[in-house]
Amino acid sequence: MGFRLEGIFPAALLPLLLTMILFLGPLMQLSMDCTCDLADGLKVVLAPRFWARCLTDMRWLRNQVIAPLTEELVFRACMLPMLAPCTGLGPAVFTCPLFFGVAHFHHIIEQLRFSQSSVGSIFLSAAFQFSYTAVFGAYTAFLFIRTGHLIGPVLCHSFCNYMGFPAVCAALEHPQRRPLLAGYALGVGLFLLLLQPLTDPKLYGSLPLCVLLERAGDSEALLCS
């Protein structure tokens, strides 16, 4: 289920670093639009009062702690080991995210009850959310298999919840559009270049899910090596 000490430090740092590289453009956009400088921002983040405020904010706890931990535990740590022996690792990586995407359909009910938007726009928004949550779920499933740890997917999930979906339209209209779009492109390029090296199973020790499949007489060399 991804709870082990072997290789835990690279499993916590490298997947998060990889995800932050993918979000290079949005991070640049956030820094450009922020009114405070880096030193002031670090002072705020490192202040105990800031974290005390966060830990007493139920919305923050839900988005940054509870949802990432519980969703990754259910849809990666529990579901992948059950599906993989039946379907193989490759199909399991793309099947689990479908359940993960469907689990977010409860937002349709909330929007139908409280939103003033039309029914068509609500369902269109739900279809879009299903699409990107499914893609994200496939990514964290890939991380879970390649690292053999749950901590990486949880931290990446928390980071992505904080960042939200990249504001590409806002970037296209930004006063510093050219460097910002270059940051978006560079982030995607570096992510694709570093995806395999930074998730190399050799960095994380033995992979429990791959060992389980080998004992069952099934081996997915592409994902497990």
Query: Among 71, 149, 157, 220, which one carries the catalytic annotation?
Result: 71
Q: What's the first-to-final CA gap in the chain, in angstroms?
A: 19
Residue 149's φ and ψ, nearest 5 degrees, are -130, 150
Is 71 annotated in the active site?
A: yes
Give the pLDDT confidence of 50-80 residue by residue, as tens digits.
888 888 999 999 999 999 999 999 988 888 8
- pLDDT at residue 218 in the model: 59
pTM of the model: 0.86
**pLDDT at position 113 over 80:** no
- Token look-up 């939200």 returns 164
Categorize the per-residue pLDDT at 199 as very low, low, confident or very high, splitting at 50, 70 and 90: very high
**In the predicted model, is pLDDT for residue 202 greater than 80?**
yes
Whole-angstrom Cα distance, residue 218 to residue 207? 14
Average pLDDT over every residue of 178-194: 95
In whole angstroms, give the CA distance from residue 70 to residue 67. Answer: 5
Residue 125 has pLDDT above 80, yes or no: no
Residue 216's pLDDT band, with cuts at 50, 70 and 90, is low
Band of residue 95 on the pLDDT scale cut at 50, 70, 90: confident
Q: Is 104 a catalytic residue?
A: yes
Catalytic residue among 6, 72, 104, 107: 104
113-127 b/e (C-beta count within 10 Å ≥ 16 → b): eeeeeeeeebeeebe
Q: Residue 44 pLDDT > 60, yes or no?
A: yes
Give the C-alpha separation, 2 to 152, whole Å: 10
Three-state DSSP string of 174-208: CCCHHHHHHHHHHHHHHHHHHHHHHCCHHHCCCCH
